[in-house]
Amino acid sequence: MTNEYLKKPLPSIEEQQDFYKKLRSKIQKWFDNKPGAVGKVGQYVLFAPDLFHLLAKLMLDSRIDAKSKGAVGAGILYFIAPMDFLPEILIGPGGFLDDVVVAVFVINTLLNKFPIEVIEEHWAGDVELLSVVRGISNSGNKFVSKLPAGRLVKRFMKV
């Protein structure tokens, strides 16, 4: 990467929204072509773009302390890592399930540390954030502790 590349401005809000919409559409299209895949697991995978968007916005929020941003960064890195526990490159959008579980673990930790309004302010999903977090947390708490990123996030969040 060159310094020139790093000096480029961030994509505009419109470009960011376009990417977000394309990702949601891509995941929805994948599930539409996989009858029976949606179920509860598929429902959670559809939240991947919303959760990634939330993590990205929290990373830029000045009210979030550096230690918590370390955990948010770990969640973002897990999303963009080409190889993880369930790699998207091999299994398609269904591979976002582990990313979703890690993101919810990070968000749940932040919800215990900051006022809910701070977190919800950045939520772009159609379903209430707490409902999403509770549903995925109930299903994913056992799963996240087995993931390398889950252990990494827990280390960042220790007091």
Encode pLDDT of 80-135 as tens digits.
777 666 666 666 666 777 888 889 999 999 999 999 999 999 998 888 999 888 88
Evaluate whether 37 touches 93 at the Cβ level (below 8 Å): no
Q: How many helices and strands in the chain, by DSSP H and E?
A: 10, 0
- The pTM (predicted TM-score) of the whole model is 0.72
The answer to whether 101 touches 45, Cβ cutoff 8 Å, is: no
Nearest to 101 by CA among 27, 44, 35: 44
Q: Are 47 and 132 in contact (CB under 8 A)?
A: yes
Residue 134, H or E segment: helix 129-144
- Report yes or no: 94 and 43 within 8 Å, Cβ to Cβ: no
User: Structure tokens of 55?
Assistant: 């993590």
Query: What would the pLDDT profile of 120-153 be if each residue is shown by its tens digit?
Result: 999 988 889 998 888 888 775 555 555 555 555 5
End-to-end CA distance of the chain: 35
